[in-house]
């Protein structure tokens, strides 16, 4: 059975994603903090984004950098550092590719062999979150995204 994902704008500066995972917190934490496992799910196949490289030094003060794109000579990058890494409980990191980047906090709350994952993006200002919400491109891509997802479902079950 699949658990549902909830997304809410909790305040002018804060976006929150909530999801229950059917595993103890230590396992979810491991999937989040083992780089080779992290990139498997953080960049879902259906997003159709090509990961060129990743470096993740997951410890308090450590840095991360992920590069995407088609052309390795001209990648798009996201990067930042881990503000807090508390095993099985909490991760906090910065998103420094933009001056208006959020600080992300994810907490893991274990209950009855399940873990409630709460991921908060706190933006520096209301305007920063408004801008993030207004960015990007809808043209054609959502449809492509859905088609790919259907294809993936077919492949997984076929």
Partner 1 sequence: MQYILNYMVQYSKARLDASFAALSDATRRGVLEQLGRADASITDLAEKFHMTLTGMKKHVGILEQAGLVTTEKLGRVRHCKLGQRRLEEEMAWLARYRKLWDARFDELDRVVEELKTYERVASHTNGK
The only residue of 33, 35, 43, 107 in contact with partner 1, by rule CB under 8 A: 43
37/86 with CB nearer partner 1: 37
User: Among residues 76 and 151, whose Cβ is nearest to partner 1?
Assistant: 76
Compare residues 85 and 117 and give the one whose CB is closer to partner 1: 117
Chain positions 98 to 157 lying near partner 1, rule: CB under 8 A, are 98, 101, 104, 117, 119, 127, 130-139, 141-142, 145, 149
Residue closest to 19 by CA, chosen among 155, 115, 124: 115
What's the closest the beta carbon of residue 59 comes to partner 1, in angstroms? 19
Question: Which of 68/89 has CB closer to partner 1?
Answer: 68
Letters for 70-99 (x = contact with partner 1 by CB under 8 A, - = none) are ------x-x----------------x-xx-
């Amino acid at each position: 059975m699949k658990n549902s994902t909830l997304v809410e704008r909790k305040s002018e500066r804060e976006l929150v994603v909530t999801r229950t995972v059917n595993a103890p917190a230590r396992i979810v934490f491991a999937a989040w903090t083992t780089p080779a496992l992290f990139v498997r799910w953080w960049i879902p196949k259906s997003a159709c984004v090509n990961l060129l490289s990743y470096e993740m030094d997951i410890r308090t003060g450590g840095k991360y950098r992920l590069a995407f794109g088609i052309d390795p000579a001209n990648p798009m990058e996201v990067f930042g550092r881990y503000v807090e890494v508390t095993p099985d409980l909490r991760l906090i990191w910065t998103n420094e590719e933009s001056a208006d980047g959020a600080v992300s906090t994810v907490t893991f709350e274990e209950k009855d062999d399940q873990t409630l994952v709460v991921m908060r993006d706190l933006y520096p200002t209301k305007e920063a979150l408004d801008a993030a919400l207004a960015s990007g491109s809808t043209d054609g891509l959502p449809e492509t995204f859905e088609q790919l997802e259907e294809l993936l479902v077919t492949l997984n079950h076929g």
